[in-house]
Amino acid sequence: MNHIFATADKLLASLADFVVTKAGESIKRNGKFNLVLSGGSSPKKLYELLASEPYRDSIEWKKVYFFFGDERYVPRDHKDSNFLMTQGALFGPLGIVENQIFEVNTALSPPEAAADYEQRIRQHFGGRVCRFDVILLGLGDNSHTASLFPHTPVLHEKTALVKEVFVEEVNMYRITFTAPLINAGHTVAFLVFGVTKAAAVFHIQKDPVNIDEYPAQLIHPESGDLHWFMDEAAASSI
């Protein structure tokens, strides 16, 4: 389902409202809300909004568990760390405690970090199917999402929930959710704004399936809902 807004500010407010609604439903149903965060620059504004009034008082934050759909293989205090960005924009302002945050341990080797993250996710779900309540995703100009980059082996991963991948175009390792884990989610929501994303949105939604070229085409929740929150600029080619 596409949700298209005139401006990025209206888009962000609507997505914040959406998260509030989903959090309330999940907490009422299960007593907790398992939220997967997206990294990069676009979601930072969303996190700052959620940490501000009135949103900060609209969610029972003590019942929220936070995960990362991907992480750069850098120390947690590195400027490129998704954890560090989120700590400043969301966790710190809201006073989120450590046991609610599942961060990738980048002090381990990339394969160990991926295996460790998968193990902790499985433990959190206590042997049940790992189905997150909401998974937030971004979209790169090259049609990647999470750290599912074009022409990387992780695109064809069928069994692992989390995997390390070396991304040549950024010359670094990433730790990422795989498509099977994302597609098990109850709700998956893309956050996309800006005219530079328009071509990628067209490729994902309108072009024939070619996951090696357009990795975000992999995202189709098996029994959940898929939402695209976009501004008019990002949606301009569809």
Q: State pTM to two decimals.
A: 0.97
pLDDT of residue 127: 87
82-133 confidence digits (pLDDT tens): 999 999 999 999 999 999 999 999 999 999 999 999 999 999 999 899 999 9
Q: Which whole-number Å values give the CA distances from 54 to 16, 31, 45, 213, in the listed order? A: 10, 22, 15, 41
Q: How far apart are CA 176 and CA 163, in angstroms?
A: 6
Q: For the chain, which residues make up each domain, given as ranges? A: 2-231
Neighbours of 209 (CB within 10 A): 9
CA dihedral (82, 139, 213, 109) in degrees, to 10, reads 10
Question: What value does the mean pLDDT of the chain take?
Answer: 97
2-231 CATH fold = Rossmann fold (3.40.50)
